[in-house]
Amino acid sequence: MNIDTKRDELSNWVLNLDEEMLQKIDELKNNDSKKNVIYNSQGKGLTKEEYVHHVEEISNSINNGAKTFTPKEVREYVLNRKS
């Protein structure tokens, strides 16, 4: 496929995207110097620095007594909760 055909194909695809996907693409475009290494559960891209900071905050919360759950406890909760 030549470059013009690829551009047309991508242009048509972009024109039909929903707002959430357009936001992700805009983040990608604007983050040339800050590469996203991961996306959070809300779809927001995080740089390496932001992700490390996020993990450090979680670690500090746990060290300060935040409750944690084993995989077994999470599974029991998910399987037994009332809808």
pLDDT at site 45: 86
pLDDT at site 29: 79
C-alpha 23/C-alpha 30 separation (Å) is: 10
* Structural Rg of the chain based on CA atoms: 20
> 26 with 17: CB under 8 angstroms?
no
> 47 with 34: CB under 8 angstroms?
yes
Q: What is the pLDDT of residues 10-68, one digit of tens each?
A: 999 999 999 999 988 887 777 665 688 888 888 888 888 899 999 999 999 999 999 99
Other beta carbons less than 10 A from residue 45's beta carbon: 19
Predicted TM-score (pTM) of the model is 0.49
Please report, for the chain, the start and end positions of each structural domain, with discontinuous segments joined by +.
1-30, 34-83
